[in-house]
Amino acid sequence: MSLSKSKYCNAIQCKKMLWLDINKPEMKEDVANQGVLDNGTEVGIVAKDLFGSHIDIEFNENLSLMLEDTKKALKNKEVVITEASFVYKNNFCSVDILKKKGNILEIYEVKSSTYLKDIYIDDISYQVYVLLSLGYKIGKAAIVHINSNYIRKGQLNLNKLFTIEDVTDIVVENKTKVEKNIEEINTYLKQKKEPKEDIGMQCKNPYECPFFGYCTRNLPENNVFKINGMRKSTMFNLYHKNIYTYEDLLKADIDLKAKQQIEFELLNKEDYINIPKIKSFLDTLSFPLYFLDFETFQQLVPEYDGVKPFMKIPFQYSLHYIETEDGKLEHKEFLAPSGEDPRRFLALQLVKDIPVDVCVLAYNMSFEKSVIKDLANLYPDLKEHLMNIYSNIKDLMIPFKNRDYYNKDMHGSYSIKYVLPALFPDDASLNYHNLDLIHNGSEAMSSFANLAKLEKNEQSKIRTNLLKYCELDTYAMVKIWEKLREVCYVTNR
């Protein structure tokens, strides 16, 4: 069995994960966030210029060609090579950035995180093991990651964007440990029958395992891993005590948070609706009533002045509104042009679309308020109006967060993606799965971030579906608000 650094790291997390990946790949679920993957790819590309001119070893499925290209590049006395490739006893690795000075090599592993993780040490330790085993001298081994405090001003400064952490001593000392790990991994992978490894924290840490659904396929549908808001460690502790189902939890002598307890008490009961509390919330709202939702994206490599890594950059909003008690539902929307900083365009349109001193509803208002506050600080000429909107935002999430309206289909969550189908299980118009191309915030983020790279007809298609997705977010809020009014003022209870 040949290993790569990614396979080695998978096995460090869980050897069964790698065994399943080789023997039952069809059972793998897609747990990757496309936006995160895209950002990681971009960071890797940008980091190649960190040390100036370099020789890039192009990827080839025929690894021998990459190995040969690397040997040729290493004939230079001093050189920087990206994706330099090596193999030792079927252990293959490509080094993100390799610097050669005489007969001394420096290796740099690039990560899109903002801090050092243990798994990164495992990753670079494997690479150092391969190179040391081949007889190379390692002068330095370092992790290159994003500096979250960097704010772009003018031309991109790679030396400030990236932080370089020297881990040479640690990874060189790990050579024997890596060799032992490789032996154990290869022995493990020789098993013909599926290994009987139980689930545990390794399923979630450091990364979400794509085989978790497969490994928990025999658990009842309502099991402890479906409880939103519970710590992962608590879930696994319960599981290892043979407490699997909601019924098991009710019988067990354990202390549960009151909010979670409500869920278990409602297993076979009607919805829990606290009408006085909901009425009290509704009384805080007034007409005109505006329903607001933003979509944002992030850049690990900032493209615009004043932007730092992972900053939320708003590019779109949807706005449903009702002017009077008996008024008609209206809708406005904004989607920024692609390829340029969207913030000024959005802020200008927002202050046109939302008058001062009107009641604005958001779902999880902390997000919308943070976006508006950032815009207000960025554009002093719009600050007064923007902060007026900020001050008048109410949170539609409150009745669900406080469990004043709850049913078991919310699975312990007050996220709108759980609340909506729980309240309207048979309404196809409120089902995000029925949308085309864009079904969630991650897809919206990734789609807009890559929009400028597409052909015009593809851009038009994506933009149309971005608008439909965001519109559903605020329409869903309208329907939830109407549901709250219905249970308080229409139905007899």
Q: Mean pLDDT for each consecutive 10-residue tract of the chain (493 residues)? A: 91 97 95 67 93 96 96 97 97 98 97 95 98 98 97 96 97 97 97 95 95 95 84 93 88 75 71 94 97 95 94 97 96 95 97 98 97 97 98 97 90 88 94 93 92 92 97 97 92 47
Residue 13 belongs to domain with CATH number: 3.90.320
Q: Find tokens 């932007």 and name the residue.
A: 307
In a domain, 207, yes or no: no
Are residues 162 and 33 part of one domain?
A: yes
Residue 370, burial from CB neighbour count under 10 angstroms (0-12, 13-18, 19+): middle
Q: Which residues pair with 322 in a beta bridge?
A: 289
In a domain, 56, yes or no: yes
Are residues 227 and 123 part of one domain?
A: no
How far CA 125 is from CA of 4, 14, 173, 484, in Å, comes to 12, 17, 9, 56
Are residues 227 and 179 part of one domain?
A: no
Are residues 456 and 329 part of one domain?
A: yes
Are residues 305 and 424 part of one domain?
A: yes
Cα Rg, the chain, nearest whole Å? 27
Are residues 449 and 402 part of one domain?
A: yes
Nearest to 37 by CA among 460, 338, 450, 456: 450
In the 8-state DSSP scheme, what is residue 429? G
In a domain, 213, yes or no: no
Give the chain's domain count. 3
Other beta carbons less than 10 A from residue 240's beta carbon:
11
Q: What is the pLDDT of residues 168-226, one digit of tens each?
A: 999 999 999 999 999 999 999 999 999 999 999 999 999 999 999 999 999 998 898 98
Nearest to 486 by CA among 424, 436, 428, 416: 424
Exposure letters 84-116 (e unless 16+ CB within 10 A, then b): bbbbeeebbbbbbbbbbeeeebbbbbbbbeeee
In a domain, 318, yes or no: yes
Residue 451, burial from CB neighbour count under 10 angstroms (0-12, 13-18, 19+): buried
Are residues 310 and 172 part of one domain?
A: no
The pLDDT, as a whole number, for residue 135 is: 97
In a domain, 199, yes or no: no
Pairing of strands 330-335, 313-322: antiparallel
Q: Select from 150, 172, 189 the last residue of a domain.
A: 189
In a domain, 195, yes or no: no
The pLDDT, as a whole number, for residue 492 is: 44
Are residues 283 and 257 part of one domain?
A: no
Residue 448, burial from CB neighbour count under 10 angstroms (0-12, 13-18, 19+): buried
Are residues 157 and 263 part of one domain?
A: no
Are residues 334 and 400 part of one domain?
A: yes
In a domain, 20, yes or no: yes
Quote the CA–CA distance of 361 and 320 in Å, as a whole number: 10
Are residues 435 and 286 part of one domain?
A: yes
The pLDDT, as a whole number, for residue 302 is: 94
Nearest to 408 by CA among 245, 235, 222, 225: 222
Full domain range(s) for residue 118: 5-189
Are residues 264 and 282 part of one domain?
A: no
Q: Select from 253, 269, 285 the last residue of a domain.
A: 269
In a domain, 114, yes or no: yes
The pLDDT, as a whole number, for residue 258 is: 66
How far CA 246 is from CA of 126, 252, 367, in Å, comes to 43, 10, 32
Q: With 0.85 as the threshold, say if the pTM is over it.
A: yes
